[in-house]
Structure 1
Amino acid sequence: MLATMVVLNLVLAAQAPVDLAAGTWGSAVAMPGQRAHGYLPVPGGEGDVPPLPVTVIRGAKPGPVVAVVAGVHGAEYVPILTLQRLAGRLTPEAMRGTVVLVHIANVPAFQKRTVYYGPSDWKNLNRVFPGAATGSPTERIAHVLTQEVFARADAVMDVHAGDGNEALFPYVTYFGHAPDPKVAERSRAMALAFGAPLVKPLWPDFSTPPTYSTATAVARGVPAIDVEWGGEARFPPADITRTEAGLLRVLQQLGVLAGAAPAPGKPRFVTGSESVMSPVHGLFTLDVKPGQRVKAGARLGEIRDAFGRTLAVPVAPFDGMVIYAVSTPPVSPGEPLVSLGQVADKAPTRPPEKLPRAPAVMLNHLYVVLPQDAFEALRSLEFLSRDFARVDAGLPDFKAPGATAQALYVRGQDTYVELLGPGNAFKEPVGKVGVGLSVEQAGGLSRLVMPMRMALGGAPGQERTTWTFEGKGKVPWYDVLYRKSSTPDADLSLWVSEYVPGFFQALYPDRAWDAHDVGRRAFLGPLFQPERLLRNVERVSLELSPERTATFIRELVALGYQQSAPPGDVFVLQGGGVQWHVREAARPRGLLEVGFSLTRVKNGPLVYEPGPGAKLEFSKDRPEARWVTGLP
């Protein structure tokens, strides 16, 4: 008996010790050739985050550690069900290395059925990596995945689908560059092995810590890919089968499984992409579908408010293919509606050039026609021209207005206000408001024709305006787009313009000028007087008819302005350095208030009210002022 025990001990001593830590993830502990289920705890709170369900499948032979993650977004069900199937499909005896399956990474979002965000902190898990050990629930999940999963893996696959509100064309992503080029190349090989019909290289900036899951892994020297298959909270068996087959092909490519199953068909590559974002709160109706090819300017859908009024008609910014799209009605400002990609047969070898974007549309000026008593009160207010701003009578000489003038041009640095009396030369009626917007990039106006067409339901008017200079004749001044109507707008006109640079040469012959400069400061720069108070218009409050409210909002949204407050009686839009407050009324009063930014905080009197409709109020501690029109 003693001899037998001695021999047994010698045999055991000769065997290599089993590394229990290598097969341990939370409570899941797998010996070589075993499968184990368990949970990975998320510490740092008082049980506010449930542990993450994991399966560890440890091969009989040593090899790479591959982490496969699902459920980063709680309503992406195809990945979750795929890993459920994969956990039983993999045979430890036939494997090399270890496969760690994180079945549901975002358990709180899964349990509460939220899309994009965690239910308690309203953070997107795939935007908060590498996370924080003592952060919010979502940040702590990211920290656990980073430290306990990615840091211990030799390769990572993060499996997604379109979220519960998204329809999606299947694709896989990899990183076209990385701090370690070998990691980028291995990621590319994984992506091609998966066998998705579309492959999308990503080119993140690794100079700062990335916030996406797989980018975080790559930054730490671990090759990684994202898989996108399925969507809309559905889980057809075919999608699960195809996703599982792709994961198995990658495991073969990594050497975990024997064999080398060929990818099904030749993929196409996304060479550049951009998401069209929602500018407003509302209900979205999608007009396109994933995989569809669209032309630049094509209508992608329509956003209406709760009452059925059209707020926005998003259009394609370039020719491309629909990669994914929101397919359920609720949308909010700044969230994606449709992702478009430019597609080619060959993989790109460098980051894409910046795709063409619609130009920024800025407030240039606004005008209002005042009643005679209000206009005269402002015209006679000495403070207005002495301290508040440069005030002139307009082109071509910018002379001081005379005692009988019916137009006052109040100039700031980038914007100005045109105050008109009832006897104005344009024959505009009292109460009429005009909003002049402009682009700052040469050629930008032409890129606004299609968005305006979609917003207005027809082609916008297009004209070139000239100015006649003495001794020079007619000189092109600006090109303009505007809403064509069978009847003139009774309460508000809006147009967007682009200066013709040659106009500035004629206007300021003694100044150097840039043949490509169409900016507002090319016009206002020589007139701006920083020793006075006014810098710019920064807020405009309007009351319009219901019909004009609807078209005005559509026009601003088409020109790039975004809703910046929840829906209510006042519609708030932000863009181009200006905030718009718009309300509707059966008997609209037009311009209610204008807010100004100032060059400094004003000293002395804070209120000037020389007459009705002529009230100027100044902040006592901020460089701000407002003009309350008091129009009846």
Structure 2
Amino acid sequence: MLAVMVLLNLVLAAQVAPDGTAATWGSAVAAPGQRAHGYLPVPGGDEDVPPLPVTVIRGAKPGPVVALMAGIHGAEYVPILTLQRLAAKLQPETMRGTVVIVHIANVPSFQRRTVYYGPDDWKNLNRVFPGNASGTPTERIAHVLTHEVFDRVDAVVDVHCGDGNEALSPYVAFIANAPDPSVTERSRAMAMAFGAPTVKPLWPDFAGPTRYTSATATARGVPAIGVEWGGEARASPEELNRVEAGLLRVLKQLGVVAGGAAAPGKPRFVTWSESVMSPVHGLFTPGVRPGQRVEAGARLGEIKDAFGRTLAVPVAPFTGVVLYVVTTPPVNPGEPLVSLGQVTNTLPAQPAVAPPRAPPVVLNHFYVVLPAEAFASLRALDFLSDGFAQVDGGLPAFKVPDASAQVLYVRGQDTYLELLGPGNAFGEPVGKVGVGLSVEQEGTLSRLAGPLRTALGQKVHQTRTRRKFEGRGEVPWYDALYREPSAPDTSLDLWVSEYLPEFFQALYPDRPWSAHDVSRRALLGPRFKPERLLRNVERISLELSPRRAHTFIRELVALGYQQVSSPGDVFALQGEGLRWQVREAAQPRGLLEVGFSLNRVKTGPRVYDLGHGAKLEFSKDAPEARWVLANGRRRAVP
């Protein structure tokens, strides 16, 4: 049966006869000066795929063969309705060449009203080219379009709009690095003739599968453009008129239709574009509109769960223009929310480098204020300093703490813990936690101010802290960025810091180091002892009041952490080498647990009892440990 269908398809898809007597695509057969409707079959596979509706308009005189396609995504209606109108308006008796119109390229998606994906295999048709003759339904459609359309025409116009869930700023795209430079030039001319307000040159990687329609056509020597105009499953008369006029200009530029092809106005050009993806399942409310200019760090919208709790606040990674934005609530991890582009008035000759953006944020250290008995137990635990980690009393001398010390610095390779007793010199209350994050690119801290300010809706301050060094006076130590709380916070502080080069010069005057190395490892490296167990902090579990948990999660998301789950009242977020677990409670207990990576699997005792339910536990199979804090009486925290 498969062999019969393939043979039938080859017969139906015969090439235009050399003498120009017939133009045949599937069951649509048009003689010179005629218009014909029909269907292009999609053979092969175990699942039937509806044939693709096509119109063939054969000009009275010889000329180029041009394919116009719509419906690659079934909920994009502006292209489908425009080509329906254009198929009736083109006059074959005055045309040169042939126009092949694929009215709905993805019939299953159109019939089932799906966005992005085909309903049978959940694949995006514009990501599977050149397709597979014996593959899934979507892959088979791509194969037919590649071999029965792209391979038989002289030019391709793939017409899109925003999908059923997207609002879009109109643009036309072309491949700027086709293997044949002449194909690039012809594609560029088609794009300019269309007359969109924005032109987007693309530089795909031709080393692997071409994936997209335009890339596939140009790789096969056929100039092509992609049009984007309209969206949100709507089709206004103005949108239909503008797209139809643009297509007619392209047909005039190609010599198919008589007349001038001058485009209205001069376009702007996209030099760089990037989509901001959803990190979670949730309900998205956009905060921007198509065509709007946004600054780096600007709030793009908000994702909430079904209960109205904020899961993520996406922000602009760079300053640019909104190309499209999702306007319906459902979003899933890895799907686009907003596409941003940087624009210029000059057509770029080569791909742009990525614009500057906020640097990655890592955990530097955290502190926790322990009750007197718990702190005394840790201070008296010989194993803490003899086997677990390098323990000292702090900068600049890193002295061994004595029996009266109210602070213990427990140092790993990149992170450290600051354990405080109730008599600490900072006056911090028992149970309070401080989280010190940091950037490790010199001069980049200020880029985080915008994302924090827009995500939190609060003032954000940047301060500089100095430290005294014997013989050198006060030396710049670090810059810090922190929010201004509406009231003193007795449960949790968070800040982001950037070490300053002068600090390292004063701390290690005899050590050779790069003047630009402001990393955690530059601070801890000389003190790190690999013969001890502790490598780094990998996981922190907190229990906070609902209000503080909400703010803390927004802070983390604004700083680049991604929420990976939210079962019930427990939220998990993942960042650079660190996982957070944040639990909501009316009477929160603060820090619950800390997970560590180790230099090796521990031998000997695996559990150290620290009293009142607190313990230090080591895995018997992996280089991992966890510090479980006392799970005693809860305390009310505002």
Task: Say yes or no: TM over 0.5.
Answer: yes
Aligned residue in 2 for 1:12 = none
Cα distance between partner residues in 2 of 1:607 and 1:301: 46
For the structure 1 residues 100 and 442, does the alpha-carbon distance in structure 2 shift closer, same or farther, using more than 3 Å as the test? Answer: same
Residues 372-400 of structure 1 deviation map (CA, whole Å, 9 limit, x = unaligned): 33333433444433343333322122233
For the structure 1 residues 87 and 629, does the alpha-carbon distance in structure 2 shift closer, same or farther, using more than 3 Å as the test? Answer: same
Residues 579-614 of structure 1 deviation map (CA, whole Å, 9 limit, x = unaligned): 211121001111122222333444555444453454
Larger mean CA deviation between 294-303 and 115-124 belongs to 294-303
Residues 221-272 of structure 1 deviation map (CA, whole Å, 9 limit, x = unaligned): 2211110001111011221121122112112222222333322222222233
Cα distance between partner residues in 2 of 1:130 and 1:84: 26
Cα distance between partner residues in 2 of 1:573 and 1:21: 65
Cα distance between partner residues in 2 of 1:44 and 1:434: 62
Aligned residue in 2 for 1:467 = 467
Cα distance between partner residues in 1 of 2:576 and 2:22: 56
Cα distance between partner residues in 2 of 1:549 and 1:231: 37
Q: Is contact 1:65-1:97 (8 Å) kept?
A: yes
Larger mean CA deviation between 577-586 and 263-272 belongs to 263-272
Structure 2 residue identity aligned to 1:102:
V
Residue 43 of structure 1, CA deviation: 4.2
Residues 63-112 of structure 1 deviation map (CA, whole Å, 9 limit, x = unaligned): 33322221122211101111222222233333333332222222232222
Please give the secondary structure, in 1, of the residue aligned with 2:414: coil
Larger mean CA deviation between 178-187 and 90-99 belongs to 90-99
Q: Is contact 1:130-1:146 (8 Å) kept?
A: yes
Residue 476 of structure 1, CA deviation: 1.1
Cα distance between partner residues in 1 of 2:56 and 2:37: 6
Aligned residue in 2 for 1:481 = 481
Identity of aligned residues (%): 75
Question: How many aligned positions are there?
Answer: 617
Cα distance between partner residues in 2 of 1:489 and 1:414: 27
Structure 1 residue identity aligned to 2:81:
L
Residues 91-147 of structure 1 deviation map (CA, whole Å, 9 limit, x = unaligned): 333333333222222223222222223334433332333334444443343333333
Aligned residue in 1 for 2:196 = 196
Residue 33 of structure 1, CA deviation: 4.2
For the structure 1 residues 551 and 101, does the alpha-carbon distance in structure 2 shift closer, same or farther, using more than 3 Å as the test? Answer: same
Alignment of 1:528-547 (within 5 A): 528-547=528-547
Cα distance between partner residues in 1 of 2:604 and 2:28: 73
Residues 535-568 of structure 1 deviation map (CA, whole Å, 9 limit, x = unaligned): 2222222111011011101111111112212564
What is the Cα-based RMSD across aligned positions, in Å?
2.7
Q: Is contact 1:455-1:558 (8 Å) kept?
A: yes
Matched, 1:257 2:257: yes
Residue 296 of structure 1, CA deviation: 4.4
Residue 576 of structure 1, CA deviation: 1.8
Q: Is contact 1:70-1:80 (8 Å) kept?
A: yes
Q: Is contact 2:298-2:451 (8 Å) kept?
A: no
Aligned residue in 2 for 1:11 = none
Please give the secondary structure, in 2, of the residue aligned with 1:323: strand
Please give the secondary structure, in 1, of the residue aligned with 2:427: coil
Aligned residue in 2 for 1:510 = 510
Structure 2 residue identity aligned to 1:283:
L
Residue 29 of structure 1, CA deviation: 4.2
Matched, 1:490 2:490: yes
Cα distance between partner residues in 2 of 1:297 and 1:417: 30
For the structure 1 residues 49 and 357, does the alpha-carbon distance in structure 2 shift closer, same or farther, using more than 3 Å as the test? Answer: farther
For the structure 1 residues 588 and 140, does the alpha-carbon distance in structure 2 shift closer, same or farther, using more than 3 Å as the test? Answer: farther
Alignment of 1:19-418 (within 5 A): 23-47=23-47, 49-418=49-418
Larger mean CA deviation between 239-248 and 290-299 belongs to 290-299
Cα distance between partner residues in 2 of 1:463 and 1:314: 26
Cα distance between partner residues in 2 of 1:152 and 1:535: 62
Please give the secondary structure, in 2, of the residue aligned with 1:564: strand
Please give the secondary structure, in 2, of the residue aligned with 1:263: coil
Aligned residue in 2 for 1:596 = 596
Aligned residue in 1 for 2:11 = none
Please give the secondary structure, in 2, of the residue aligned with 1:118: coil
Residue 452 of structure 1, CA deviation: 1.3
Q: Is contact 1:322-1:341 (8 Å) kept?
A: yes
Please give the secondary structure, in 1, of the residue aligned with 2:97: strand
Q: Is contact 1:281-1:566 (8 Å) kept?
A: no
Cα distance between partner residues in 1 of 2:599 and 2:127: 38
For the structure 1 residues 410 and 121, does the alpha-carbon distance in structure 2 shift closer, same or farther, using more than 3 Å as the test? Answer: farther
Q: Is contact 1:252-1:260 (8 Å) kept?
A: yes
Cα distance between partner residues in 1 of 2:488 and 2:536: 29
Please give the secondary structure, in 2, of the residue aligned with 1:488: coil
Please give the secondary structure, in 1, of the residue aligned with 2:215: helix
Q: Is contact 1:545-1:584 (8 Å) kept?
A: yes
Alignment of 1:574-593 (within 5 A): 574-593=574-593
Q: Is contact 2:299-2:455 (8 Å) kept?
A: no
Matched, 1:623 2:627: no
Larger mean CA deviation between 571-580 and 138-147 belongs to 138-147
Residues 434-467 of structure 1 deviation map (CA, whole Å, 9 limit, x = unaligned): 1111112112111111111112222213211122
Q: Is contact 1:75-1:114 (8 Å) kept?
A: yes
Larger mean CA deviation between 428-437 and 371-380 belongs to 371-380
Aligned residue in 1 for 2:4 = none
For the structure 1 residues 111 and 541, does the alpha-carbon distance in structure 2 shift closer, same or farther, using more than 3 Å as the test? Answer: farther
Q: Is contact 2:63-2:256 (8 Å) kept?
A: yes
Structure 1 residue identity aligned to 2:498:
E
Aligned residue in 2 for 1:550 = 550
For the structure 1 residues 566 and 550, does the alpha-carbon distance in structure 2 shift closer, same or farther, using more than 3 Å as the test? Answer: closer
Structure 1 residue identity aligned to 2:88:
G
Which structure 1 residue ranges, 5 or more long, are not aligned?
Answer: 1-15
Which structure 2 residue ranges, 5 or more long, are not aligned?
Answer: 1-15, 633-638
Residue 44 of structure 1, CA deviation: 4.6
Please give the secondary structure, in 2, of the residue aligned with 1:464: strand
Structure 2 residue identity aligned to 1:252:
K
For the structure 1 residues 153 and 392, does the alpha-carbon distance in structure 2 shift closer, same or farther, using more than 3 Å as the test? Answer: farther
Residue 493 of structure 1, CA deviation: 0.9
Structure 2 residue identity aligned to 1:398:
F
Residues 315-359 of structure 1 deviation map (CA, whole Å, 9 limit, x = unaligned): 444443332222223334443333333333322222223212111
Residue 486 of structure 1, CA deviation: 4.2
Q: TM-score, normalised to structure 2's length?
A: 0.89
Larger mean CA deviation between 438-447 and 201-210 belongs to 201-210
For the structure 1 residues 212 and 534, does the alpha-carbon distance in structure 2 shift closer, same or farther, using more than 3 Å as the test? Answer: farther
For the structure 1 residues 398 and 264, does the alpha-carbon distance in structure 2 shift closer, same or farther, using more than 3 Å as the test? Answer: same
